Amino acid sequence: MAANVIEVDGVTKHYPGVQALTDAAMTIREGEIRALLGRNGAGKSTLIRVLSGVERADAGTVTVAGERLGDGGVRRAAELGVSTVHQELSLVAELSVAENLYLGRWPRRGGAVDYATMRAGARAVFGRLGLDIDPAAPVGELSLAHRQLVEIGRAVREQPRLLILDEPTSALAAGEVDIVLDTVTRIAAEGVAVLYVSHRLEEIRRIAHSATVMRDGRVVDTVDATGTGTDRIVQLMLGDSATAAQRPPAREVDRTGVPALSVRGLSVPPKVLDVSFDVHPGEILGLGGLLGSGRTEVLRAIAGFTPAAAGTIAVDGRDVTRPTPAVMKRLGVGMTPEDRKDEGVVPLLGVDENLVMSEFGTVKSGPAIRPARVRRAARRLIERLSIATAAPETPIVNLSGGNQQKAVIGRWLHAGSRILLLDEPTRGVDVHAKAEIYRLVREVADAGAAVVFVSGELEELPLVCDRVLALRAGRVAGELTGAGLTTDSVLSAAMAA
């Protein structure tokens, strides 16, 4: 029987206000591909950081090939044979494949970089993996799949005992995924233990021998990857929490008239492929999916930030020939971004200035902005949205995350938007603030707005949405409504293989 490469025993990690890991335990053997599953916030990323030496566990032990990881950090983990390929690639586009493969450790001869040795080493690594990649090619000219393979090749060059792959295919098109999966299988066949993080069950069932499921910072079970049904995996990921929250009363939505927003055959490869849906006035449509499902990319294409390769967008029954942010704004479409901190607010400006910045026309007299009009408009929105602030001119950075998010939504209400695209509107806010945002969204819809509500926290979609489309690998995998709209059903559709 193959020996254990990695043994995790009782690992616990606490951050201020967050218990990220509690008594986590698992073992992975030589040549085993172990999938790591869990919804957002389950503890997967923290466990990876502990195994990689990036974080130090508060309690418990990690043993690699019989040796304790201890407190040696990333250097110690690398010495023991732990290599990690993170979801965000760390390649330098202007450098060649070989230079990236040896990044930080370029061989030298006579004081100069030994490019011949680098290229020969790169050819050896790719030959071992059965890949045909030119070591001299600039990385920036490679496809996304081949860049991912270069990243994996860099990790393999270190001769790892444990290779950790964090969502290695989340940004790839279906045809490119096969290349990566074949490479991972070849690596494991050499005796390397692989920890494979992914939300895509079809991939996991193709390559993984087993799957460890995490929930709320704990390892809840390790199951056979091919013989365990989707329903069982969903139940392990959700536990009893999915049924804890009660849905509000169903809202009456008139879908007989012209849709406020129609999307047909929308494609933004490789993230979005042939997505179609309608949203009617007064309706809240949820877009749910796991990491890499294409949720944000759909909204950005509709709002005009990302050009679509195919498909049509219509507002109030009229096709939009060239959607741009300015055009969509004039048509009454407003979008709140996923990253509130960097894209949603201007931190040092006041709440009032943040509220009116999407439409200055109503607070101007001639070419000049009138502070009195700004204050009046801001006070109306602050009262309507129940934004907790000492004064309208208080810098928005001083507000809580929930109140900042209300202001971001309020900005588009000030602009008169009738179609709201809300990307992760409750990310990073507390439970009370979430409930306030749900209430606000429903009130806005009750007043006639059409809302598209995107969230990776699938359990919140039934609490606010009238209808939900589950996205998987850039496509609509299912539509949930009425009694069939539950967290379990959304997650099952988003993961089903």
Domains along the sequence of the chain with CATH: 4-243 (3.40.50.300), 261-495 (3.40.50.300)
Q: Which of 230-244, 282-296, 367-381 has the lowest mean pLDDT?
A: 230-244
Above pLDDT 70, what percent of the chain?
97
CA diameter of the chain: 81
Above pLDDT 90, what percent of the chain?
54
**H helices, E strands: number in the chain:** 16, 24
Give the three-state DSSP class for 475. Answer: strand
Average pLDDT over residues 329-353: 88
Question: Cα(471)–Cα(496) distance, rounded to whole angstroms?
Answer: 11
pLDDT at 51 over 60: yes
Average pLDDT over residues 329-341: 89
Centre a 10 Å sphere on the Cβ of residue 253 and count the other Cβ atoms it contains. 18
Nearest to 436 by CA among 470, 410, 397: 410
Residue 49 confidence (pLDDT): 93
If one compares 338 and 98, the residue with the highest pLDDT of the two is 98
DSSP 3-state percent helix, strand, coil across the chain (nearest 5):
35, 25, 35
pLDDT at 122 over 80: yes
pLDDT in tens, 442-461: 999 999 999 999 988 888 89
Residue 230 confidence (pLDDT): 84
Residue 297 confidence (pLDDT): 93
Residue 241 confidence (pLDDT): 54
pLDDT at 428 over 80: no
Question: Cα(366)–Cα(99) distance, rounded to whole angstroms?
Answer: 58
Residue 246 confidence (pLDDT): 58
Residue 97 confidence (pLDDT): 94
Please provide the average confidence, as pLDDT, over all residues in the chain.
89
The helix (H) or strand (E) run that includes residue 493 is helix 487-495
Q: Which of 177-181, 190-194, 321-325 has the lowest mean pLDDT?
A: 177-181
Residues for the chain: how many in total? 497
Average pLDDT over residues 306-329: 95
Q: Which two tokens stand for residue 156?
A: 């393999």
Q: Which of 20-34, 188-202, 480-494 has the lowest mean pLDDT?
A: 480-494
Report the C-alpha dihedral over residues 50, 56, 57, 59, rounded to 10 degrees. Answer: 150
Average pLDDT over residues 394-412: 88
Residue 338 confidence (pLDDT): 84
Question: Cα(429)–Cα(442) distance, rounded to whole angstroms?
Answer: 18
Burial class (CB in 10 A: 0-12, 13-18, 19+), 318: exposed
Would you place residue 244 in the very low, low, confident or very high pLDDT band (cuts 50, 70, 90)? very low
Q: What is the pTM of this model?
A: 0.71
Nearest to 77 by CA among 187, 197, 195: 195
pLDDT at 65 over 60: yes
Average pLDDT over residues 455-484: 89
List Cα–Cα distances, 363 to 155, 175, 228, 346, 378, in angstroms.
Answer: 56, 52, 60, 19, 10
